[in-house]
């Protein structure tokens, strides 16, 4: 093998090894940089003249599961389980969306870096909006706030609304 080809081969191997080592270091670094999120669930805020239906309560539970699943499987967030004792304490208090900062202390107690929660506002049977809030547990700084409007009050419209919000805003690669 001529000298210049051998040098190119050695240089190529060295570059590939350097990129591979850097990739491993990044992957190891990413694991510690992934925010641990304590998710408090969605709340239905019914400002319509229509009563809340059992189907809407079921849809809130559906969104809770979808949110946890998509964040946890994204590789960008780690969902932290809320211990049963803390769950009881949370349930005995005000709604997370209006508890004046309690979400931060609850998130820290559960071992999270961020607190997350959502609301679905029912304006009418046709107009609803899905809102997601995420803040740092230590500082209270909002790191993500987004809302999407949906038309239609069905399982599919709620699911598509949350999917759109997550895929186009929160989980979108930059």
Tell me the per-residue pLDDT of 6-63, one tens digit each, with 9 for 90 and over. 444 344 443 433 444 444 334 444 567 899 999 999 999 999 999 999 999 999 999 9
Answer whether residue 66 shows pLDDT above 80.
yes
pLDDT given at position 31: 61
Bigger pLDDT: 170 vs 30: 170
pLDDT given at position 106: 97
pLDDT band at 2 (very low <50, low <70, confident <90, very high): low
pLDDT given at position 100: 87
Homologous superfamily of 34-170: TolB, N-terminal domain (3.40.50.10070)
pLDDT given at position 160: 98
Contacts of 101 (CB under 8 A, 6+ apart): 140
Whole-number percent of the chain with pLDDT over 70? 82
Q: How far apart are CA 135 and CA 107, in angstroms?
A: 10
pTM: 0.80
Domain-by-domain residue ranges, the chain? 1-33, 34-170
Encode pLDDT of 116-159 as tens digits.
999 999 999 999 999 999 999 999 999 999 999 999 999 999 99
Bigger pLDDT: 1 vs 23: 1
Q: Where are the beta strands (DSSP E) in the chain?
A: 36-46, 78-79, 114-122, 127-136, 142-151
């Amino acid at each position: 093998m001529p000298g210049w080809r051998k040098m190119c081969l050695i240089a190529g191997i060295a570059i590939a090894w350097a990129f591979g080592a850097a990739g491993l270091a990044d992957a190891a670094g990413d694991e510690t940089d992934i925010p641990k999120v304590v998710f408090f669930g969605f709340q239905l805020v019914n400002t319509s003249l229509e009563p809340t239906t059992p189907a809407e309560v079921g849809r809130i539970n559906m969104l809770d599961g979808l949110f946890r699943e998509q964040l946890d499987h994204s590789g960008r967030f780690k969902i932290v389980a809320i211990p049963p004792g803390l769950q009881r304490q949370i349930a005995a208090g005000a709604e997370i969306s209006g508890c004046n900062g309690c979400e931060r202390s609850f998130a820290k107690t559960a071992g999270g870096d961020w607190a997350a929660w959502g609301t679905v506002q029912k304006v009418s049977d046709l107009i609803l909006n899905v809102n997601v809030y995420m803040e740092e547990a230590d500082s209270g700084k909002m790191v993500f706030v987004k809302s999407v409007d949906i038309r239609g009050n069905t399982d599919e419209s709620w699911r598509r609304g949350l999917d759109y919000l997550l895929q186009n805003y929160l989980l979108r690669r930059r």
